[in-house]
Amino acid sequence: MSEKNVGSIIELKDVHKVYQMGETKVRALRGSSLEVKKGEFLSIEGPSGSGKSTLMNMIGCLDVPTSGKIHLERWDIEKLKESDLAQIRGKKIGFIFQTFNLIKNLTAMENVAMPMMFQGVPREKRLKRAKDLLGEMGLEERLNHKPAELSGGQQQRVAIARALANDPDVILADEPTGNLDTRTGRKVLQKLKDLNEEEGKTIVMVTHDPNAAEYADRIVKIKDGVVE
C-alpha cells in the first residue's frame, strides 16, 4: 500500500454504497469523493435521506463501499482484515452520537473506560484516564452515576470523554446537539472547537443545524448521495 498525502487523514474516492432492501436496491451514495485534512473542523450538511449517515459510516470506516476507495491515513480499508480494521479504527477514531449510546448499566467512568479495554490498556490506567477525562468535562462529581441519573448535557459530555479515551486523531460527531437544548448545545460545540484548536483533533460533524455548522472551518453539503 502506498503512503497517502500527509495532509489528509481520511480520503474517499468515487464511493458508491448500495443497500439491498428486499427486492429493492437503495443507492445511498452515488460516487462521492471527499478529503478530510488533518487538523480541520469539517461540517457535513444535508437534508434527511441525503446520505449523511452512510457517508459518516464510510468516513468512520464502520462500513465498506460497494465500489470506490477509502483510505485512513496509509491504509486502504478494503485490504484490511476486520480485526485489524477494528483495532486501527478504535485507536484512530472517536465517535460521538446524537443518542449518546452510553451503556445503561455502566457508570460514567466505566462507559469512558470501555474503549480502552478493547485496546488492551491495563485496568488501573484506563480508570485513571477515564476519571481525568470526566474531570476535564466538569463531571468529577458524576463518576459513579449511570446514564439515567445524568441530564442530556451530562450524558453528551460523558460521550465526548468516551470518544477521547484512546486519544484518537479524529472525532466523528453525528448530530451532537440534536437532543440538547440550545444553551447546552453551544457548550458541546465549543468543547469540540476547543479540542480542534487546542489539541489539534480533526473533527468531522454531521448536522442539519446551520448554527452548529458555523463552528466548522469548512462546510460540505451532500444531496441525493453525492457530495457537492
* CA gap 161, 111 in Å, rounded: 9
> What is the CATH code for 37-61+80-227?
3.40.50.300
Look at residue 1 in the predicted model and tell me its pLDDT.
Answer: 32
Look at residue 180 in the predicted model and tell me its pLDDT.
Answer: 86
Look at residue 145 in the predicted model and tell me its pLDDT.
Answer: 98
Look at residue 209 in the predicted model and tell me its pLDDT.
Answer: 84
The pTM (predicted TM-score) of the whole model is: 0.90
Look at residue 3 in the predicted model and tell me its pLDDT.
Answer: 38
Delimit the domains of the chain by residue range: 37-61+80-227
| Count of CB atoms situated within 10 Å of the CB of 87 | 15
pLDDT along the chain (228 residues), means of 10: 60 96 93 96 92 92 94 91 91 92 96 95 96 94 97 94 95 91 90 94 91 92 94
Look at residue 2 in the predicted model and tell me its pLDDT.
Answer: 34
